[in-house]
Structure 1
Amino acid sequence: MTTPGPREKPAVTLLESRFTRNDMPRLRLLVEQYAGREGLPDPRRGEFVVAMDAVAVNAVEEPGDAGTLVLQRSDSHLLCRIQDLGHDCGDLTATDPDPPDPGPGPIGRPAGHGLWLAGRLTDDITIDSGPRGVMVTLAARLPHRA
């Protein structure tokens, strides 16, 4: 999916932004605008924005309080890569059939189910965790363009 096939061109970067909690409304609006421009139809466009928001909120609630977002278009997919600036979280998955009990979140609030939700609202999700933080890549199939 993220590696170009024999006829597929490399992904083109549409948007690259560092963000904090205060940037979330602007980020949602930008991702929705770019997704529409690239041909992602409703209701898929709305689902993609909700998935992006769920993952981005996780990034700003973790250590570091900031993240980076890169939105790209390949020939057949819209890709959104979100990286928190926190710590290695070990093995994470968004494929569990039911949302896990996340336990307490930051500041004693219940933690959300952002990765679980994002995995259900997109066509593909990959999660990589390492010493530089967690990188989540969301993918939505774009309609065929003639």
Structure 2
Amino acid sequence: MTSPAGAEAFAHPALFYRGEQEYLDGTVPFVREGLEGGEPVAVAVPGPALDVLKDALGADASAVHFVDMTVAGRNPGRIIPNVLRAFTDRHRGTPVRIIGEPIWPGRSSLEYPACVQHEALINPAFEGRDVTILCPYDADRLDERVLTDAYATHPVILSGGGGRPSPSYAPEKIVAAYNRPLPSPPASAERTRFGARELSDVRHRAVARAARLGLSDGRLGDFALAVAELTTNSVLHGGGSGTLRIWSEDSQVVCEVRDRGYLSDPLAGRRPPAGGRPGGRGLMLVHSVADLVRIHTGPGSTAVRFYLGP
């Protein structure tokens, strides 16, 4: 397989593999070529794949930074800032290689829109950086829709030992296509309107509601932080007021904040915002503590929904 790295520009190929041997054939040479060239290499894949790659790399594994994507990337919205940017920013001035596998069999339909938007947003997030991010896709076990979307989010597809340009590369279309209205909250969801004067009260009431719904003491602090950031953003950047809803869903507590703002930057919350641009920092904090964040935005209306589990 010809390595996708080497050009002094950002590269984001997808690796379609079938079975463990094709996985190793596509990833191990990529890692070793980077190490031989003196490039920092990170591997962020699901835990079982980490073990397979470590075994295949042998002694070379000690030079690689490994991340369990099922932990660090449980919320796809924190992969760019907390995994990819965290590694590349530590190695500015030198080419960097990363294997990142954010979509694996078992990802839920609730998580998938955030996963595929993440893959699309990698491209503008790293444009102009000397970084190569190789994304493996299990072509045997993933839904055909996932593979179709991968063609749209990756400019090059690697498969069977060769590579070809994607005929349908259009990441901006994926970002727009998955910016869908969120499902309606259940009738049982507690609804509270708030403005600047009600910020403190609505936060205390929200935390108390989350505790009654069974959120553990250890996660109430994360919940309080996320609510504080989102409600403050609504007041400062979302028209001065908003609506907060809380409910339970399976084993998670769900909170949604709606306001009249508009997130014009699709990368808001996934990278440090440009100087002077409102918003983004608070949303990044929400991504950092939540298990999942779903967003729908349009002119005059934004809904941010986050999930916290035990």
TM-score class, shorter:
0.7 to 0.9
Q: How far, CA to CA, are the matches of 2:243 and 2:306 in structure 1?
A: 14
2:296: which partner in 1?
128
1:104: which partner in 2?
276
Aligned-partner SS, 1:43: helix
Which is richer in helix?
2
- The verdict on how the C-alpha distance between 1:88 and 1:133 changes in structure 2, with shifts beyond 3 A counting, is farther
1:29 is matched by which residue type in structure 2? H
Query: How much does 1:92 deviate?
Result: 4.2
Aligned-partner SS, 2:223: helix
Q: How far, CA to CA, are the matches of 2:267 and 2:244 in structure 1?
A: 19
1:121 is matched by which residue type in structure 2? V
Do the aligned partners of 1:89 and 1:133 also contact (CA within 8 Å) in 2? no
TM normalised by structure 2 equals 0.38
- The C-alpha deviation readout for 1:81-118, integer Å capped at 9, x for no partner, is 1012234535244344xxx0442367xxxx66110000
Aligned residues: 129
Do the aligned partners of 1:52 and 1:138 also contact (CA within 8 Å) in 2? no
In the alignment, which of 107, 114, 117 is matched to residue 285 of structure 2? Answer: 117
Do the aligned partners of 1:81 and 1:137 also contact (CA within 8 Å) in 2? yes
1:47 equivalenced with 2:222 (yes/no): yes
Do the aligned partners of 1:20 and 1:60 also contact (CA within 8 Å) in 2? yes
Q: How far, CA to CA, are the matches of 1:101 and 1:89 in structure 2?
A: 12
Q: How far, CA to CA, are the matches of 2:241 and 2:264 in structure 1?
A: 16
- The verdict on how the C-alpha distance between 1:51 and 1:126 changes in structure 2, with shifts beyond 3 A counting, is same
Q: CA RMSD in A?
A: 2.5
- Larger Rg over CA atoms: 2
- The C-alpha deviation readout for 1:10-60, integer Å capped at 9, x for no partner, is 845342011111111111111111111111112201111111110111111
TM normalised by structure 1 equals 0.75
Q: How far, CA to CA, are the matches of 2:236 and 2:221 in structure 1?
A: 22
2:193: which partner in 1?
18
Aligned-partner SS, 2:217: coil
| Structure possessing the higher relative contact order (Cα contacts under 8 Å, 6 or more residues apart) | 1
Do the aligned partners of 2:206 and 2:246 also contact (CA within 8 Å) in 1? yes
- The verdict on how the C-alpha distance between 1:20 and 1:92 changes in structure 2, with shifts beyond 3 A counting, is farther
2:244: which partner in 1?
69
Where does the alignment leave 5 or more consecutive residues of structure 1 unmatched? 4-9
Do the aligned partners of 1:50 and 1:118 also contact (CA within 8 Å) in 2? yes
Q: How far, CA to CA, are the matches of 1:41 and 1:105 in structure 2?
A: 35
